[in-house]
Amino acid sequence: MELWFTEKQTEHYGITFNIKETLVVEQTDFQHLAIVDTVEFGRMLLLDGMVMTTVRDEFVYHEMVAHPALFTHPNPEHVLVVGGGDGGVIREVMKHPKVKKAVLVDIDGKVIEYSKKFLPEIAGELDNTRVEVIVGDGYMHIHEHKQAYDVIMVDSTEPVGPAVELFTKGFYQGISEALKEDGIFVAQTDNPWFKADLIRSVHRDVKEIFPITRVYGANIPTYPSGLWTFTMGSKKYDPLAVDESAIAELNTKYYSPRLHKAAFALPKLVEELLQD
């Protein structure tokens, strides 16, 4: 008997996976959590029925949240990750020797617990001595830590459930205040094919708060449309002014110094929605 799991990525289309085994299915205090083992993509974390990450393609998302900002800031010593309880972004942050301390604040301790247990290749660096893991509210954390961070990364779910407040202008204002005077912020901002309004609205809000606002993209096979966007707000450093030849070649599978600026060259359909 073949088992298939289908995520409706919009109401009318979806992605479907042949499943070997279901490892966890649980309603946490915040969301529905599942970890399944797929034939094609390996183990997969689902929150509220949406694919968050798979062992096969997780590196794209995690590298592309972490490295463009960390290679734009000349001295990213203190880093905050809001959300990201699976630990993938933290793993990439730990590849930067300049980072003295990274704090992860995820509201759902179950995501952290099950990721450590079932996704060790993703979550392994959560135990790094340079990492502090806090189970708590990211919104509250940033309001309690003024001018504390060089780089803040928002690795959230969609703006439904616990992540709703992470897509508000008040949150971006709080992030700006939690950053030092030359800080950089980056957030995942969904796909331009079916969530154009979300990207437009985040871009507009971030632009009102940060002097430098940039959007870049990456290919993620298991996310809707396969094209994902990230929005960066920066107080001082422009990711497009970076000298690519000076970027260190890390042990990555997607990001490279050659891709640093090219990732900001967007398809015309994305350029146009940012001009609205």
Would you please indicate which residues are annotated as catalytic (active-site) residues? 155
Question: What would the 3-class secondary structure string for 58-76 be?
Answer: HHHHHHHHHHHHHCCCCCC
**CB of residue 5 vs a second copy: minimum separation in angstroms?**
10
* 108 vs 183: CA distance, rounded Å: 26
The binding site for a second copy (CB under 8 A) comprises 6, 10-18, 38-41, 57, 60, 193, 217-221, 224-227, 252-256, 258-259, 261-263, 265-269, 271
Residues at the annotated binding site? 31, 62, 86, 106, 137-138, 155-158, 162
Minimum CB distance to a second copy, residue 14 (Å): 5
Using the minimum distance from each CB to a second copy, give the nearer residue, 37 or 137: 37
Q: Minimal CA–CA distance to 275: which of 210, 212, 204, 179?
A: 204
Minimum distance from CB of 222 to a second copy (Å)? 8
For residue 170 the two structure tokens come to 């008040």
Asked if residues 74 and 54 have their Cβ atoms less than 8 Å apart, the reply is no
From the CB of residue 264, how many other CB atoms can be counted at a distance below 10 Å? 16
- Sorted by sequence, the CB contacts under 8 Å of residue 68 that are 6+ apart come out as 186, 216, 230, 232, 239, 255, 260, 263
Nearer to a second copy, 178 or 259 (CB): 259
SS3 for 269? helix
In the bound state with a second copy, the residue whose beta carbon lies nearer, of 130 and 261, is: 261
Name the residue nearer to a second copy (CB basis): 152 or 212: 212
As annotated, the binding site for S-methyl-5'-thioadenosine includes 31, 106, 137-138, 162
CB of 266 to a second copy, least distance (A): 7
